[in-house]
Amino acid sequence: MSNEHGKLYVVATPIGNLADMSFRAVATLKEVDLIAAEDTRHVRMLLQHYGISNKLTALHQHNEEKAAAGLLDKLREGQSIALVSDAGTPLLSDPGMPLVKLAKDSGFDVVPIPGACALIAALSAAGLPVTEFTFLGFLPRTASARKTLFSEKLACPTTWVFYESSHRILATLEDMAAVLPLNREIVIAREITKLYETIVKTSLADALALVANDDNMRKGEFVVIVSGAEAIDKSEQLLSDEQERILRVLLTECSIKTAVALAVDITGARKKSLYQTALAITGDELNP
């Protein structure tokens, strides 16, 4: 593929099942001058499976700024380069952004070669609304940061989705259960396209119990999909000013669940109306 103007190909590779490699991806990897890979040892096994012997160079999170500059020089020389990650579509929680940005800003063609993506595969089989969704990538490593994020998403009306590792999946669900209603619908998708692929749609409470009690549900790579909060029915949100004032005071000291329960006892207002109002209040405070 060497020519006067170099091109950068962003090539999706299988996330588990090697049969998911597209004909176009194989042809592209055979024809480019150089393949930039997140882990050259891992990608070399894939290339050997398809009889591809092109030169490899490493481009990962620890060297991508420096490596991207060198690869841009090769594009200027007219070489064609394929960017691949360990699995799936590059840049989606994988390295490669500096190279793609440099190539685009320098006027080179950046050509997507679509294929497997754990995010899209999980969403397609989740059974939750996907017309509009938010992708969060990998979540923060600390419990406090995760709880803050979940609080920010508490009143989000659309589906949201994130990746998680086997080491943190249980802790993440525990943190989620401390913030979100336990009846919130979620999907746990693990080992997508692999031998032990599992996709479970259930409540947050049941998902937490399942992962806590089944060792196998703490193994592999995870996509977690969370349904959006129920839309607030304005006709059922008719609290008096005094009822809302009491709820706001309670929310400064208690969780939503506790504040609502106390407000029901104190004000006599409907639990659903109080809960929906609490979600609106906390959502406004977190997203001014």
Spatial CA neighbour of 45 closest among 86, 75, 83, 102: 86
One-letter amino acid of 89: T
pLDDT score of 149: 95
pLDDT score of 269: 87
**166 Cβ contact partners less than 8 Å away, ≥ 6 residues apart:** 218, 219, 220, 221, 222
**18 Cβ contact partners less than 8 Å away, ≥ 6 residues apart:** 46, 49
Give dist(CA 264, CA 155) in Å, integer.
20
Query: How do 198-203 and 185-190 pair as beta strands?
Result: antiparallel
Angle between helices 241-251 and 256-267 (to 10 degrees): 140
pLDDT by residue for the chain (288 residues), tens only, comes to 444 679 999 999 999 999 999 999 999 999 999 999 999 999 999 999 999 999 999 999 899 889 999 999 999 999 999 999 999 999 988 889 999 999 999 999 999 999 999 999 999 999 999 999 999 999 999 999 999 999 999 889 999 999 999 999 999 999 999 999 999 999 999 999 999 999 999 999 999 999 999 999 999 999 999 999 986 555 555 788 888 899 999 999 999 999 999 999 998 888 888 888 888 888 755 444
* Under 8 Å between Cβ of 59 and 19: no
pLDDT score of 271: 87
Spatial CA neighbour of 163 closest among 111, 118, 98: 118
> Residue 53's CB: how many other CB atoms inside 10 A?
9
Phi, psi dihedrals of residue 164, rounded to the nearest 5°: -145, 155
Spatial CA neighbour of 233 closest among 263, 274, 193, 261: 274
pLDDT score of 88: 95
Q: What is the length of the chain?
A: 288
> Residue 54's CB: how many other CB atoms inside 10 A?
13
Buried b (16+ CB within 10 A) or exposed e, 182-221: eebbbbbbbbbbeeeebbebeebeebbeebeeeeebbebb
pLDDT score of 61: 87
CA angle 259, 262, 264 (to 5 degrees): 110
